[in-house]
A = this chain, B = another copy of it.
Amino acid sequence: MENTNEIICKDLSLKETAKFLKKHDNFVILTHASPDGDTLGAGYALFYGLKEIGKIAAVICADVIPKKYGYFVHETDNVDSSKATIIAVDVATKALLGSLSEEFGDNVDLCIDHHISNSRYAKNLYLDAEASATCEIIYELLECMHVNINNNAAKAMYTGIATDTGCFKYSNVTAKTHIIASKLYEYDIDAATINKIMFDTKSRKLLELERMVLDTAEYHFDNKCILLSVTAEMQEKTGCSGSDLEGIAVISRSVEGVLAGISIKQTGDNEYKISLRTYPPLNASEICKMIGGGGHNSAAGATVHGTLEEVKAMVLDAVKKNMEESDARVSSSK
């Protein structure tokens, strides 16, 4: 429904994408809002690659880039966006551009992405839904362009691949993912330090928050569902906010026997953000759709209004429905 301008989106091959980039000289590279390791890794690796062949490029993001990415995020060029070629990396829909959507949403010349759900809002699209991360695609693209990969580009791409795969843990990893990782090790990337920053660094305040959150644990539906809550009060007391809270969803998905891990985070007066992690036969995307959100089959989210108790009831009801539906599917296939 998003393409109200009826942009005709052309699918490019990897070679055509490489050609496209070589043909143009000035670029604005857009990353998605609430930036993560993959969108930033892809944006900056592409930037460093384009610089190696004499192009001018800027990387921009609607939101502030977290400091922890500072080991590969450096200043980019000043580019007049009205005369530049606009590229979006790892941005599945216009809306994910955040506040940049208004200016750029209908003017993206090329989108490079790995989300099967890409809404085809760009004029040209290189989509590889088999890639574990957009950074995996950027690596192949730079190789295809015979562009020198420098240390910054290698660190950026490793970061994107590591963060989108939970450090090679998830089912999106393929043999190719490991082959690309092995090649990135040749660029002196100090992957252990990157991984320490991305996965194994917890602030003392976050440790304190986790202790509080564990106190809120509720089990439902025969222990197949765990629900964790982060109230505004907890955030205030510990000083944790925003990206500090990403780890809570990870806790919810790791409890033995749990098929639905719900974390509810207060984001305003009577406003809560729900993060849901599921295992088959449950489907996080279907559940979150019922409460006005969306996402992937195993990880999805929604923003819901009401009191904490109302919000809990709403999401639990949606989980229950999905459980019943999947039970019905199992019975009917017997």
Residues of A within 8 A of B (CB): 166-171, 173-179, 181-183, 185-186, 191-192, 195-196, 199-204, 207-208, 210-211, 214-215, 217, 219, 223, 250-251, 253-257
Contacts and interface: CB of A to CB of B under 8 A. Distances in A.
A202 B169 contact: no
B214 A192 contact: no
Given A214-B210, A214-B211, A219-B204, A192 B167 contact: no
A263 to B, nearest CB: 14
Contact of A211 (B169, B179, B183, B215): B215
Contact of A254 (B192, B200, B254): B200
Contact of A174 (B185, B215, B250): B185
Given A217-B207, A256-B203, A192 B170 contact: yes
B170 A168 contact: no
Contact of A182 (B179, B201, B250): B179
A199 B169 contact: yes
27 contacts: A167-B168, A167-B169, A168-B168, A168-B195, A169-B196, A169-B200, A171-B192, A174-B185, A175-B182, A175-B186, A177-B182, A178-B178, A178-B179, A178-B181, A182-B182, A200-B250, A200-B254, A201-B254, A201-B256, A203-B255, A203-B256, A204-B219, A207-B214, A207-B217, A207-B255, A211-B215, A214-B214
A253 B200 contact: yes
Contacts of A215: 211
A254 B215 CA distance: 21
A223 to B, nearest CB: 7
Contacts of A185: 173-175, 178
